[in-house]
Amino acid sequence: VKGKWIIITGATDGIGKELALNAAKRKYNIIIMGRSSSKLDEVYSLIIKENVKCKKIICDFSKECITSFINDSIEIGMLINNVGCVGEHPKLFGEESSVSEMINVNIYNTFLLTQKVLISMMNRKNGVILNIGSFTGDMPCPVLSVYSSTKAMIRSWSESLHYEMRPYNVHVECINTGYVATKMSKIKKPSFFVPSAKTYADSVLNSFGNSSVSITYFPHLLMYSVIKILPRTFLGIITFFSLSRTRNMAIEKKKIE
Query: Residue ranges of the alpha helices (H) in the chain?
Result: 14-25, 37-48, 99-103, 109-124, 145-164, 197-207, 218-229, 232-256
The radius of gyration of the chain from alpha carbons, rounded to an integer in Å, stands at 18
Marked catalytic residue, from 28, 44, 108, 147: 147
Q: Is 147 annotated in the active site?
A: yes
What is the side-by-side strand order in the sheet with 54-58? 54-58, 29-34, 5-9, 76-81, 127-132, 170-175, 213-214
Q: How far is CA 178 from the centre of its chain?
A: 11
Task: Identify the CA nearest to 128 among candidates 25, 214, 1, 11.
Answer: 1
State the Cα–Cα distance between residues 157 and 213, nearest whole angstrom: 11
Pairwise CA distance, residues 194 & 180, whole Å: 5
Active centre residues (catalytic): 147
